[in-house]
Structure 1
């Protein structure tokens, strides 16, 4: 089963990090990712750009493009990891490892159905 580990954070706090602070957190996250990736169970991960650059498409027909993600919470979705584990418990364990090095982040674990698998990751 594929799971998305969605990384939420208070965006203003993250944007206030110095380049050195940001690089240190990213380096620690990459260290945690390495053994997960080596197991063949850790797929693509990405940091999303600023939420103020986001657009939302909604409405009938061709829809309407609106500025922003319109988050209703204090934290915004700022990145994600795609993992492939047999159980939800294993995906939660991977999220806990990520949280150990980025404790101010909130991680949401959600099952994923791929429309277009990448490089065979998560293929049936």
Structure 2
């Protein structure tokens, strides 16, 4: 989405123009079936509980642009070993930041759960 466009004021000068996507959405499904632990359903439930409190809020950035980031976290009740993270942001930069933050939080929670499971054996 890059290109060259005429200057709107003079229509003579050319300059770089970039189109930024708005209203960006992402859905990320994280399955714990491939982890070699018999407690994969318990692991999904624990991680869901650990990061669930953060996803109950709608983050608003009034200082920057009045933009909102909506985050939804659901646990698959049928398979019982996966969680679905849905993110909706006003721009691509906010979406990337939210994805990185939540994936790091999930990874940290996973490492803590795995360590506690292996230490309890």
Q: Which has more strand, going by share of residues?
A: 2
Which gives a bigger RCO, structure 1 or 2 (Cα 8 Å, sep 6+)?
Answer: 1
State if a TM-score over 0.5 links the two structures: no
Q: Please give the TM-score of this superposition, normalised by the length of structure 1.
A: 0.43
User: Which is greater in Rg?
Assistant: 2
Q: Please give the TM-score of this superposition, normalised by the length of structure 2.
A: 0.44
